[in-house]
Chain A
């Protein structure tokens, strides 16, 4: 039996129709899609704030919603913790009272220790303060702790990083990873960032216009030419995982399979794994390895997919992990690229952005 099974149809007065069904079996599942694709509605239906036209939602052995049977469990009786896009801490309570709110009002089945939460999220120094006096990152950490302490069987996160700036995002992401490893509470994570999906999720469900258009392991699902649109932020993005990594003064060598990637660094990050991000347009594809070029990184790989889009062609290349290169149709003809072709990818070291 899966952990969560979800099947709902809902018609909004404006005409938007949500028709989504999926199962969750993995520790961290991501709901991915452009804004307006219905991600937040799915969360609202699971948490009990949206009463869909028809459908059923089961969490473990508990039925949360069954329109056929007229069953609609109110939100407070569902063991579902929510981390909202904006922290939504109670402004009239201290951080400690905020953290304990869920503990106080929900009978616990899964017990989460206050001390552990304070330690893992490093909020000890904030306990006596009011949310108004906290920074954005501190608030979001407290909000995550508050959801954890309500002892949920499932954690829902509605773009918890969207309102934070880039540097904070990566730090909170680190905290989220710790939370996932520490408590192993199944998590459904809504985002429109590919980097977040690839870092956190074991499974991804891709939504578009209220429908599931793809699902699978992040690598696979996000590299399929399915209809997310290629020429926008939803299009292919590259995120390579380097593990292990060796650090030297000002740069790092990370392994991808049996190849090595050179990454310039401004400061030494915490350690492996290291994630690097770059756009498909930064990748130069060669039929043979070349010498005497400035590009530091030469990765050997095999073409696995070719997707023409308007005036460009996206080429998926397996270098141990899949990466995407964007080239012209002429280049494809000239290099005689086809699935199976062996190629070398050139990557300028400075086109790589480290995602901590």
Chain B
């Protein structure tokens, strides 16, 4: 039997949990508007080069996260194409900060989010948009009063999926944000550190493993509940 005290999280683990929650929700929030725009473009738009947009969006899904992380590191490092601009114009350095962890989580979870929202947009009957426009609503009004509300279930699902994926993000994070306690050391990174800390690291991992499982299940349950509440009057 394990002693009772071993069930409680240690400060280092609390900090990883708290940081993970922050990073994952920030990543999912920051990705949402762009994901909605890209998903709408892919669902409704007909334009040359659509395949290219699709490929780029889906790339993080098939690339090893470490490669994604490496590419981000190259772009955002102070001498990189984006990093240098950020540094010289705004004096902001992204790499090896919490922002980098958010960035990594956002990029890696982005395709999942786009996919869920795109499916939701495709499920909205375009004739309803036609009806809205015949009633005097412009394109933008139609989008915000008809298309978006009808696709909200997909948005919730996409957000939850991105949140859950961000919680588990490891490879890209460790490349672009490193493994700094309290700043970039999220749950997976903490588990990795513990597992590499002899002699009892492996046994100390289990609490965080449990936390990960609970968080993932929680996200699924919450999205399920939200979906049910919203779909009540639309079915039938």
Chain A residues close to B by CB (< 8 Å) = 47-49, 74-76, 80-82, 84, 86, 88, 90-92, 101-102, 105-107, 130, 132-133, 146-147, 150
Chain B residues positioned under 8 Å from A105 (CB to CB) = 132, 135-138, 141, 145
With the chains together, A105 CA to B236 CA distance in Å? Answer: 28
Identify A88's interface contact among B128, B136, B145, B236, CB under 8 A.
B128
Chain B residues close to A by CB (< 8 Å) = 125, 127-128, 130-138, 141, 145-146, 149-150, 233-236
- Take A76-B137, A101-B132, A106-B136 as given contacts and tell me if A92 and B236 are in contact as well, using a CB distance cutoff of 8 Å: no
Return 12 A-B CB contacts under 8 Å, by A number: A76-B136, A82-B131, A84-B127, A88-B130, A90-B146, A91-B234, A101-B137, A102-B135, A102-B136, A105-B145, A130-B234, A132-B235
Which of chain B's residues has its CB closest to A151's CB? B136
Identify B133's interface contact among A74, A84, A146, CB under 8 A.
A74
Smallest beta-carbon distance B130→chain A, Å: 6
A-B complex: 5 closest residue pairs judged by Cβ atoms: A106-B136, A102-B135, A105-B136, A130-B233, A75-B133
With the chains together, A133 CA to B236 CA distance in Å? Answer: 7
Smallest beta-carbon distance A148→chain B, Å: 11
With the chains together, A340 CA to B51 CA distance in Å? Answer: 71
Which of chain A's residues has its CB closest to B235's CB? A132
Chain A residues positioned under 8 Å from B131 (CB to CB) = 82, 84, 88, 90
B136 touches A150 (CB 8 A): yes
Smallest beta-carbon distance B134→chain A, Å: 4
Chain A residues positioned under 8 Å from B130 (CB to CB) = 49, 75, 88
Which of chain B's residues has its CB closest to A108's CB? B136
B234 touches A81 (CB 8 A): no
With the chains together, A91 CA to B147 CA distance in Å? Answer: 11
Smallest beta-carbon distance A94→chain B, Å: 9
Smallest beta-carbon distance A288→chain B, Å: 58
Chain A residues positioned under 8 Å from B145 (CB to CB) = 101, 105
Which of chain A's residues has its CB closest to B135's CB? A102
A90 touches B128 (CB 8 A): yes
Smallest beta-carbon distance A192→chain B, Å: 20
B134 touches A82 (CB 8 A): yes
Identify B150's interface contact among A49, A88, A91, CB under 8 A.
A91
Q: List 20 additional contacts besides A92-B149, A130-B233; criterion CB under 8 Å.
A: A48-B133, A49-B133, A49-B134, A74-B138, A75-B134, A76-B133, A80-B134, A88-B125, A91-B150, A92-B234, A101-B132, A102-B136, A105-B135, A106-B136, A130-B234, A132-B234, A132-B235, A133-B233, A133-B236, A147-B134
With the chains together, A15 CA to B135 CA distance in Å? Answer: 32
With the chains together, A297 CA to B207 CA distance in Å? Answer: 93
Identify B135's interface contact among A86, A107, A150, CB under 8 A.
A150
Chain B residues positioned under 8 Å from A102 (CB to CB) = 135-136
Which of chain B's residues has its CB closest to A132's CB? B236
With the chains together, A47 CA to B233 CA distance in Å? Answer: 31
B135 touches A88 (CB 8 A): no
Chain B residues positioned under 8 Å from A81 (CB to CB) = 134-135
With the chains together, A81 CA to B236 CA distance in Å? Answer: 27
Chain B residues positioned under 8 Å from A147 (CB to CB) = 134-135
Which of chain A's residues has its CB closest to B142's CB? A76
Identify A47's interface contact among B128, B132, B134, B150, CB under 8 A.
B134
Smallest beta-carbon distance A59→chain B, Å: 14
Chain B residues positioned under 8 Å from A88 (CB to CB) = 125, 127-128, 130-131
Chain A residues positioned under 8 Å from B128 (CB to CB) = 88, 90
Chain B residues positioned under 8 Å from A47 (CB to CB) = 134
Which of chain A's residues has its CB closest to B131's CB? A88
Smallest beta-carbon distance A88→chain B, Å: 4
Chain B residues positioned under 8 Å from A106 (CB to CB) = 135-137
Smallest beta-carbon distance B44→chain A, Å: 14
With the chains together, A88 CA to B125 CA distance in Å? Answer: 9
Chain B residues positioned under 8 Å from A92 (CB to CB) = 149-150, 234
Which of chain B's residues has its CB closest to A97's CB? B145
With the chains together, A82 CA to B130 CA distance in Å? Answer: 10
Which of chain B's residues has its CB closest to A79's CB? B136
With the chains together, A214 CA to B233 CA distance in Å? Answer: 47
Smallest beta-carbon distance A72→chain B, Å: 13
Smallest beta-carbon distance A53→chain B, Å: 19
Chain A residues positioned under 8 Å from B146 (CB to CB) = 90
With the chains together, A81 CA to B130 CA distance in Å? Answer: 12
Identify B233's interface contact among A49, A75, A132, CB under 8 A.
A132
Which of chain A's residues has its CB closest to B125's CB? A88
Smallest beta-carbon distance A76→chain B, Å: 5
Chain A residues positioned under 8 Å from B234 (CB to CB) = 91-92, 130, 132
Chain B residues positioned under 8 Å from A91 (CB to CB) = 150, 234
With the chains together, A75 CA to B132 CA distance in Å? Answer: 10
Which of chain A's residues has its CB closest to B134's CB? A82
